[in-house]
């Protein structure tokens, strides 16, 4: 299936956020890749971070003159059970995957290869996202292009037996891409590092009417006239929601009007998530200024309104991937107090774009500082937005993909001088 | 008059797969690491996400400060000017010597946390011609603010490594045009390439060119027309 036709003028709309110079650079770089047949492959057209990236990346590549398309592999229940286990084990969970599921994984890939082989073998560049479609390469012996495995997950501490099984499907690739150096595993081919990005034109990130923001806050019983702290993330021990409540309580002693909103997606398929929500509710009991929003799925616009309405955003993770919720909040001009871990470190510079903390006490201190020095909220928020504009928008992500494509198609030397 | 060819560049970062957790491990890796890593951790850092007011001008110093919490070695590494060395091997030797000196004087081995190790990386630099040409220095006033940060990196930072006398491309061009640009060259030399982001460097260069060469030609023409009217 090919991707939707390019939305004309997308680049111009991105120029309003990223700057005309950044778009001009994309055009120049794309000039070296005109007509290049690029195929992205993943396992879902809707939902999840990868689909969100490809929804804009593919049309942008098309508008720049690349012959880009997006293919999705089709799987059955066993296949998706297996790949969900991959996801958990590659991020450190100890779990042995039954052989029957591994067989389903390989069979689904073999079946999809029958359907996709002509497209994949004819492509100049094939970018395979995450482990789901990884074995496709072994079914395309007549491939003529370069194959890249794009890993969106944190592979720093994989459960070794599962990684050992998957690795053999990756050895034939020409390159891999990881989001951060700390997430990468050694490979026999070049391992590129490309951080993820946010889309400034998505519902999650477009500016909202203040009336809409107020309405959403009222809907959840939050008083827009009083200071509000927000953490948006799954209810997961690694996101430390109990530490956030502790930090809020320590700060509330000094700022009695303070409110806290903890919002996260539903965790119906995650038994541990349910336990964490219960613990959080128990800890918040008796305090009407703590709002735990854990039921149902919140729309992108609701998340946007909560982030826009917050005075300070927290992401007090103990372990984190890149932390795109941090990027989103920074883009809305919010100072973020984040855990000193993973990709949060790349985004928060103390006193400049936010604060890195190691303890609830540290978070409380920074909350008190910002609420006592209200002008700093604006200054840090402004810095944060500019920092994201320069480094973490979709256009930068696209530029790095195209640079990598030029490198791979021009011999992968350290220095490539063209034109 | 010789024209100025505006080029642009973009970096693709490659993980080298080697890490260091102590100063000794950093030194050992520096002995045989790919020379591209030395370039990347000194120069390439400017094209990576970073906030403008940087504390240190290279990744080695930054890591020694934030990872090892050894400010003495961080400060010594930070004053190394890569432009002082004819090639990356010279720079590599200097790094090793500075670290060896610190290892000799310290009795404790400082460890970074497991999740704060130094990760060696290098980059592929892709340089391409924008096909834009400047025929007169006055055109710099309009052209520089419109340049991408990749162009600024190529002409102002990377040039120092390409040029045998470590001069940026703007000065190299202006110096060849005659002595009347001497004071402008001196002002360009005052723009520090290490502590600011490329966005700020672009702004500083624009200010210097505007100050020395006057407002953009189009604005000048408009002003002239206004006066005539």
Higher pLDDT, A275 or A361: A361
Residue in A closest to B200 by C-alpha: A390
Pick the range with the lowest mean pLDDT from A267-276, A300-309, A409-418, B82-91.
A267-276
Superfamily of domain A210-391: Glycogen Phosphorylase B; (3.40.50.2000)
By the 10 Å C-beta count (0-12 exposed, 13-18 middle, 19+ buried), B177 is classed as middle
Alpha helices (runs of H) in chain B, residue ranges in sequence order: 23-32, 35-42, 59-66, 71-78, 88-105, 140-146, 149-152, 159-162, 169-175, 182-189, 198-213, 217-228
Residue in this structure with the two tokens 């927290």, named with its chain if needed: A314
Put simply, the answer to whether A29 touches B10 (Cβ < 8 Å) is: yes
Residue A91's pLDDT is 84
B36 lies within 8 A of chain A by CB? yes
For B47, the 3-state DSSP assignment is helix
Residue in this structure with the two tokens 């959840």, named with its chain if needed: A220
Model confidence at A356, in pLDDT bands (50, 70, 90)? very high
For residue A413, which residues of chain B lie inside 8 Å, CB to CB? 124
**H or E element: which one contains B19?**
strand B4-20
B95 in Cβ contact with B23 (< 8 Å): no
pLDDT digits (tens, 9 = 90+) for A83-124: 989 988 998 889 999 999 999 999 999 999 999 999 999 999
Using 70 as the pLDDT threshold, list the residues of chain B that sit under it.
Answer: 49-54, 217-229
Of chain A, the percentage scoring pLDDT greater than 70 comes to: 96
For residue B123, which residues of chain A lie inside 8 Å, CB to CB? 414
- Return the beta strands (E) in A83-227 as ranges: 125-129, 146-150, 175-178, 191-193
Map out the domains of chain A as residue ranges. Answer: 10-197+393-409, 210-391
Put simply, the answer to whether A25 touches B126 (Cβ < 8 Å) is: no
pLDDT digits (tens, 9 = 90+) for A189-200: 999 999 999 999
B119 lies within 8 A of chain A by CB? yes
Confirm whether A10-197+393-409 and A210-391 share one CATH topology. Answer: yes
Residue A5's pLDDT is 46
Residue in this structure with the two tokens 């201190």, named with its chain if needed: A365
Residue in B closest to A175 by C-alpha: B14
The string of DSSP letters for A268-301 reads: TT-HHHHHHHHHHHHHHTT-TTEEEE-SSPPPHH
CA distance A136 to A107: 11
Higher pLDDT, A226 or B54: A226
For residue B62, which residues of chain A lie inside 8 Å, CB to CB? none
For residue A191, which residues of chain B lie inside 8 Å, CB to CB? 14-15, 17
The string of DSSP letters for A25-89 reads: HHHHHHTTSTT-EEEEEES-SSSSHHHHHHHHHHHHHHHTT-EEEEEE----HHHHHHHHHHHHH
Distance of CA A213 to the CA centre of its chain: 24
Put simply, the answer to whether A182 touches B119 (Cβ < 8 Å) is: yes
> Span A74-83, mean pLDDT?
94
CA distance B204 to chain A (A): 17
Q: Could you confirm whether domain A10-197+393-409 is CATH 3.40.50.970?
A: no
CA distance B49 to A392: 8
What ipTM describes this predicted complex?
A: 0.86
pLDDT digits (tens, 9 = 90+) for B166-189: 799 999 999 999 999 999 999 999
Alpha helices (runs of H) in A72-207, residue ranges in sequence order: 77-90, 99-122, 160-170
| Predicted model pTM | 0.89
Angle between helices A20-30 and A10-18 (to 10 degrees): 130
Residue in A closest to B152 by C-alpha: A21
Residue B86's pLDDT is 83
List, as ranges, residues 188-217 from A with C-beta within 8 Å of B. Answer: 190-195
Closest alpha carbon to B9 in A33, A18, A400? A400
Residue A413's pLDDT is 84
> Span A271-297, mean pLDDT?
89
Average pLDDT of chain A to the nearest whole number: 92
> Span A408-419, mean pLDDT?
85
CA distance B104 to chain A (A): 30
> Span A142-152, mean pLDDT?
96
3-state class percentages of chain A: helix first, strand second, coil last, to nearest 5: 50, 15, 35
Distance of CA A251 to the CA centre of its chain: 30
Say yes or no to pLDDT of A74 above 80: yes
| A-to-B residue pairs, Cβ atoms closer than 8 angstroms | 106
Residue A4's pLDDT is 42
């Amino acid at each position: 299936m090919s991707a939707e036709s390019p939305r004309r003028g997308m680049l111009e709309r991105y120029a309003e956020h990223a700057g005309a110079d950044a778009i001009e650079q994309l055009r120049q770089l794309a000039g070296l890749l005109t007509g290049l047949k690029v195929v992205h492959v993943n396992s879902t057209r809707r939902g999840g971070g990868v689909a969100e990236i490809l929804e804009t990346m593919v049309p942008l590549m098309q508008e720049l003159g690349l012959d880009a398309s997006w293919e999705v592999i089709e799987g059955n229940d066993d296949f998706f059970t297996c790949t969900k286990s991959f996801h958990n084990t590659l991020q450190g969970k100890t779990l042995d995957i039954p052989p029957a599921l591994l067989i389903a994984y390989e069979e689904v890939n073999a079946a999809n290869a029958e359907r996709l082989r002509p497209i994949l073998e004819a492509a100049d560049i094939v970018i395979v996202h995450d482990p789901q479609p990884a074995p496709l390469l072994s079914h395309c012996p007549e491939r003529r292009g370069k194959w890249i495995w794009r890993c969106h997950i944190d592979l720093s501490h994989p459960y070794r037996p599962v990684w050992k099984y998957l690795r053999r499907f990756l050895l034939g690739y020409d390159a891999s891409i990881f989001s951060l150096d700390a997430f990468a595993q050694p490979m026999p081919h070049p391992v590129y590092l490309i951080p993820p990005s946010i889309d400034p034109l998505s519902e999650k990130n477009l500016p909202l009417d203040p009336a809409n923001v107020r309405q959403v806050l009222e809907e959840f019983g939050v008083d827009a006239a009083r200071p509000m702290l927000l953490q948006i993330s799954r209810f997961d021990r690694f996101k430390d929601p109990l530490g956030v409540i502790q930090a809020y309580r320590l700060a509330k002693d000094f700022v009695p009007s303070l409110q806290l909103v903890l919002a996260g997606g539903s965790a119906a398929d995650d038994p541990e998530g349910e336990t964490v929500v219960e613990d959080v509710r128990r800890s918040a009991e008796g305090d009407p200024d703590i709002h735990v929003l854990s039921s149902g799925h919140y729309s992108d616009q609701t998340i946007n309104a909560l982030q826009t309405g917050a005075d300070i955003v927290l992401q007090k993770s103990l372990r984190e991937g890149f932390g795109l919720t941090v990027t989103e909040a920074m883009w809305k001009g919010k100072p973020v107090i984040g855990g000193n871990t993973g990709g949060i470190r790349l985004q928060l510079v103390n006193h400049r774009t936010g604060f890195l903390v190691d303890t609830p006490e540290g978070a409380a201190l920074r909350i008190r500082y910002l609420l006592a020095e209200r002008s700093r909220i604006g200054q840090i928020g402004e810095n944060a937005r500019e920092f994201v504009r320069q480094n973490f928008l979709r256009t930068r992500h696209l530029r790095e993909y195209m640079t990598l494509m030029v490198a791979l198609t021009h011999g992968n030397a350290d220095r490539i001088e063209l034109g | 008059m010789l024209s100025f060819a505006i080029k642009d560049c973009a970096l693709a970062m490659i993980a080298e797969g080697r890490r260091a957790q102590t100063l000794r491990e950093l030194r050992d890796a520096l002995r045989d690491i790919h020379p591209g890593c030395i370039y990347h951790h000194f120069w390439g850092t400017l094209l990576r996400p970073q906030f403008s007011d940087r504390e240190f001008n290279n990744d080695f110093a930054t890591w020694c400060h934030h990872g090892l919490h050894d400010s003495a070695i961080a400060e010594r590494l930070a004053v190394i000017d890569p432009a002082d060395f004819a090639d990356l091997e010279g720079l590599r030797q200097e790094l090793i010597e500075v670290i060896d000196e610190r290892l000799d004087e310290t009795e404790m081995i400082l460890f970074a946390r497991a999740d704060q190790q130094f990760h060696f990386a290098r980059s592929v630099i892709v340089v391409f011609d924008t096909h834009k040409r400047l025929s007169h220095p006055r055109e710099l006033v309009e052209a520089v603010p419109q340049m991408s940060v990749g162009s600024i990196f190529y002409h102002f930072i990377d040039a120092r490594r390409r040029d045998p006398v470590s001069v940026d491309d703007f000065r190299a061009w202006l110096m060849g045009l005659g002595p009347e640009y001497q004071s402008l060259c001196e002002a360009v030399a005052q723009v520090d390439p290490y502590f600011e982001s490329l966005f700020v460097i672009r702004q500083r260069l624009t200010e210097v060119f505007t100050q020395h060469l006057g407002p953009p030609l189009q604005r000048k023409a408009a002003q002239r027309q206004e006066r005539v009217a």
